[in-house]
Amino acid sequence: MDDRSQVRTADDDWLDAVLRDEGREHRARYLADDGFTARIATALPAPATLPAWRKPVIAVLWTVAAGGVALALPGAVADATHEVVRMLSRQPVSLADIAASVVALGMASWAAAAIALRSD
């Protein structure tokens, strides 16, 4: 470390002091470009953006894919449904439990849709 890193104020740490000194040196070495940088920045093309329809289409495609898998593997879907029903039928289920499950599934679906359809 050099002597510049030892300069401290009451509320700074050594890294802040070093960065401040480096910034001061950089500003002193600045070369005026007579607006060249600004002209180049304005001449750059706009950043590429995704079309607005992309996210809803992706959400629909995933839904169709899940439905396609369910239709292509009806035995697996039936077996999984049978096992879920078998597990649930061995335990008492109240209307409040069903309502809580429906609310939880609704919240999960809403959250997934919100994530898939958000605009960045």
pTM of the model: 0.33
CA dihedral 107, 112, 117, 120 (to 10 degrees): 110
Is residue 4 a contact partner of residue 17, using CB atoms and an 8 Å limit? yes
Give me the residue spans of the domains in the chain: 3-43, 54-117
Task: Give the model's pLDDT for residue 58.
Answer: 92
The two three-digit tokens of residue 59, written as one number: 């959400």
pLDDT at 64 over 90: yes
Q: Which segment of 24-28, 38-42, 76-80, 84-88 scores lowest on mean pLDDT?
A: 24-28
Give the type of residue at 103: V
Q: How far apart are CA 108 and CA 102, in angstroms?
A: 10
Lowest-pLDDT choice from 42-46, 94-98, 102-106? 94-98
Q: Is 117 helix (H, G, I), strand (E, B) or coil?
A: helix
